Amino acid sequence: MHALTLDWRHRRGYSLQRAVANPFAAAVEQAVDGNPTVDQVRSRHEAFRSACTLGVMTCSAAQLDDPALAAWVRSRGVSVEVVSIEQLDFAISAGIRPAHIVVQGSESAAAPLRRAANIGVGGYVIGSAGQAAVLATAVTRRTPIVVDVTDDDGALEHAIRRTSPLELVGVRMRLVGGRVSHLGEATSAVMATMADVRLRHGILMTRLNLADVEMRGLTPGLVARSAAAIEDAVDESCARHRFPRPIVVLSPPTNPTRP
């Protein structure tokens, strides 16, 4: 299978949003608006984990509005992604352990990163060199980070150069619109980046994160089919690059306008 080339060293300014597609777009167009039930979320998570080796799904803080769903997330230790102080505080108030919270950095606001560092959250997603610099000054212990390479603005290069206290553990790509067939290409692109970093810098990353995946209206069957596409791309990439199988994380969109 032909893979998209993700060259973060020479293609700065090129937005992968134009090339990488949301595999669930067709289903989303037919989806009915509304918050998912506990059964819907549980069935999607189980379908993904069953079809994708070392595959996990996260939840957004917005999904914790449903007390029953929040209880299920707590009981299963599902990671919750937040993008603001309000979402961070909301997740804590819903009983989510800090170790199970992942904070996405925002270029316009350093406060969420500093607040998260004080609480001791489990991980961070960094999308720019500026965010990485802010986080590095806020934390006092070894801190795992995943770098979002969608917009390719130098965040990965910065994270590679900085050895402490930030620990580069994975790469994220956000998915925007398009066809199911592009999911495998997105996975291959991220795997190629991880393999290149290992070859050039000796850093072995263990997390492959596909984000902004619209979950509304998805059946377990469609989740399983999409997970199989990811699985095939991971298998091919691991063999091609002689790369250990990473954990594959699938993340829904986060909504910064609501907790």
Per-residue pLDDT tens listing for the chain (259 residues): 333 333 433 333 333 443 344 444 433 333 333 577 899 999 999 999 999 989 999 999 988 999 999 999 999 999 999 988 899 999 999 999 999 999 988 766 777 888 898 899 999 999 888 888 888 888 888 889 999 998 877 889 888 887 678 899 999 998 865 344 567 888 999 999 999 999 999 999 999 999 888 777 778 888 898 899 999 999 999 999 999 999 999 998 876 544 4
Q: What are the C-alpha distances in Å from 214 to residues 81, 196, 247?
A: 14, 29, 20
| Residue 139 confidence (pLDDT) | 86
pTM listed for this prediction: 0.83
Alpha-carbon gap, residue 82 to 101, rounded angstroms:
7
User: Which has the closest alpha carbon to 155: 126, 112, 113, 180?
Assistant: 126
Which pLDDT score, from 0 to 100, does residue 176 have?
A: 67
Q: What are the C-alpha distances in Å from 217 to residues 63, 147, 178, 237? A: 15, 29, 16, 30
CATH 3.20.20.10 fits 21-28+36-250, yes or no: yes
Domain limits, the chain: 21-28+36-250
End-to-end CA distance of the chain: 40
Residue 127: name the closest of 99, 147, 141 by CA.
Answer: 147
Buried b (16+ CB within 10 A) or exposed e, 120-145: ebbbbbbbbbbbbebbbebbeeebeb
pLDDT confidence of residue 199: 96
Two tokens, residue 183: 């999911």
